[in-house]
Amino acid sequence: MPKTAVITARVDPELKKEAEEIFSQIGLTTSQAITLYLRQVVHRRAIPFELIAPQRGRGVETLKRLAGTANSGHHDISERVHDLVAGAILQKYQEKETL
């Protein structure tokens, strides 16, 4: 199958640089590493690593900041998806806090 789909994601430049250095040491391009990740998601039908909620109070301010941008007029779909995910995580965290 031809590789014609494009994924655009905004990430911290330093994170990208560090990850690319590791990929290079392993012998992978960033594109190949992302493809491996996506293959594992499909194979496992889940995120291929454990996701753990932050400890009480940790990360909440960041999630609130990210969720607050959900209606800020972003036109880029990757930004909008990121904002929606951040909002959903924050909502679940806040629901758990009220239990």
Instruction: State how far Cα 26 lies from the chain centre.
Output: 22
This prediction's pTM: 0.53
Exposure of 40 in the CB half-sphere (CA atoms within 13 A): 9
Going by pLDDT thresholds of 50, 70 and 90, the confidence category of residue 91 is confident
Give the CB-side neighbour count of residue 17, counting CA atoms within 13 A.
Answer: 3
98 pLDDT tier (thresholds 50, 70, 90): low
Across 37-51, 55-69, 85-99, the highest mean pLDDT is recorded for 37-51
Going by C-alpha positions, the residue among 41, 28, 44, 34 that lies closest to residue 9 is: 34
pLDDT, averaged across the chain: 78
88: left (phi over 0), alpha (psi -120 to 50) or beta: alpha
